[in-house]
Amino acid sequence: MKKLGILISGSGTNLQSIIDNINSGFIKNAEISVVISNNSEAYGLVRAEKSSIPTAVINHKDFPNREDFEEKLIEKLEEYNIDYVILAGFMRVLTKKFISHYRYKILNIHPALLPSFPGTDGQKQAFEYGVKFSGCTVHFVDEGTDTGPIIVQAVVPVLQNDNVETLKKRILAKEHIIFPYAIKLLVEDKLQISGRKVYIKDEPTENMKDLFLINPYSTS
Ligand code: GRF
């Protein structure tokens, strides 16, 4: 059984999708050992408590610098012997020290199609740029901002009558599908990293033509 430590800062809908997918048996061999938030008001903490998952609040504001904050995070994660760190809407940048401590053991979800629109407000950046497609990305975390090897991506169209909120909602629905999927692959040891590329063992390769998308589409 692999032990997950989930870091959050906010509403925790991604956390909820992971909880639900463990409960349904889609993600096997994994349990959430602890949910840590840097924000005591995060609704994700309530979600964890409702599922009887241990929680902790480690507020970055209580520490003089990032290193001390991260030392406390590591201490807490080690207390629970965690195997993987899952960043599910955790709004703090992690330093090299933390990342090297958990090399290739940290997953993040980003609400844009990386490498486009990294950093904060990925959905707004994509919307304002005027792209016809955006989406979300699950990737391993490295020292850069949203630059680590990509595991899974999902694409959504940006529609003519969208605003940032409608686009966010469409992307979030896909986040709730691909994050549990990437975690399932991770804990089942199906991911193989080679440089920047992540190969998925047993990935189906047939019917690729169904995966091509055009937006706006033509009916002719
Ligand atoms: C998601 O959009 C995620 O991609 C981003 O932060 C948001 C977290 O949402 N990193 P939630 O707290 O999981 O609802």
CATH architecture of 1-102: 3-Layer(aba) Sandwich (3.40)
Q: How confident is the model at residue 209 (pLDDT cuts 50, 70, 90)?
A: low
Closest protein CA for atom 8 of ligand 1: 89
| Domain definitions of the chain by residue range | 1-102, 110-201
**pLDDT above 90 for 203:** no
**Rounded Cα–Cα distance for residues 3 and 79 (Å):** 12
Which amino acid, one-letter code, is at 210? D
Neighbours of 190 (CB within 10 A): 14
**pLDDT above 80 for 206:** no
Neighbours of 60 (CB within 10 A): 17
87 in Cβ contact with 110 (< 8 Å): no
Asked whether 35 lines ligand 1 (CB < 6 A), one says no
7 in Cβ contact with 32 (< 8 Å): no
43 in Cβ contact with 14 (< 8 Å): no
**Domain 110-201 in CATH 3.30.420.480:** no
Closest protein CA for atom 9 of ligand 1: 89
Locate 187 and state its tokens: 């804990």
Reported as a single tens digit per residue, the pLDDT across 33-77 is 999 999 999 999 999 999 999 999 999 999 999 999 999 999 999
Reported as a single tens digit per residue, the pLDDT across 122-169 is 999 999 999 999 999 999 999 999 999 999 999 999 999 999 999 999
**pLDDT above 90 for 198:** yes
Locate 105 and state its tokens: 């053991």
Maximum separation of any 2 CA atoms in the chain, in Å: 62
* Topology match between the domains 1-102 and 110-201: yes
Question: What residues form DSSP beta bridges with 87?
Answer: 7, 108
pLDDT of residue 60: 95
* Burial class of 187 by CB neighbour count within 10 A (0 to 12, 13 to 18, 19+): buried
Interval between CA 88 and ligand 1 midpoint (Å):
6
Mean pLDDT of 15-33: 97
pLDDT of residue 11: 97
- Residue to substitute in 172, 176, 177 for testing ligand 1 pocket (most ligand atoms within 8 angstroms of CB): 172
pLDDT of residue 220: 64
What pTM did the predictor assign?
0.94
**Rounded Cα–Cα distance for residues 109 and 89 (Å):** 7
Closest protein CA for atom 6 of ligand 1: 89
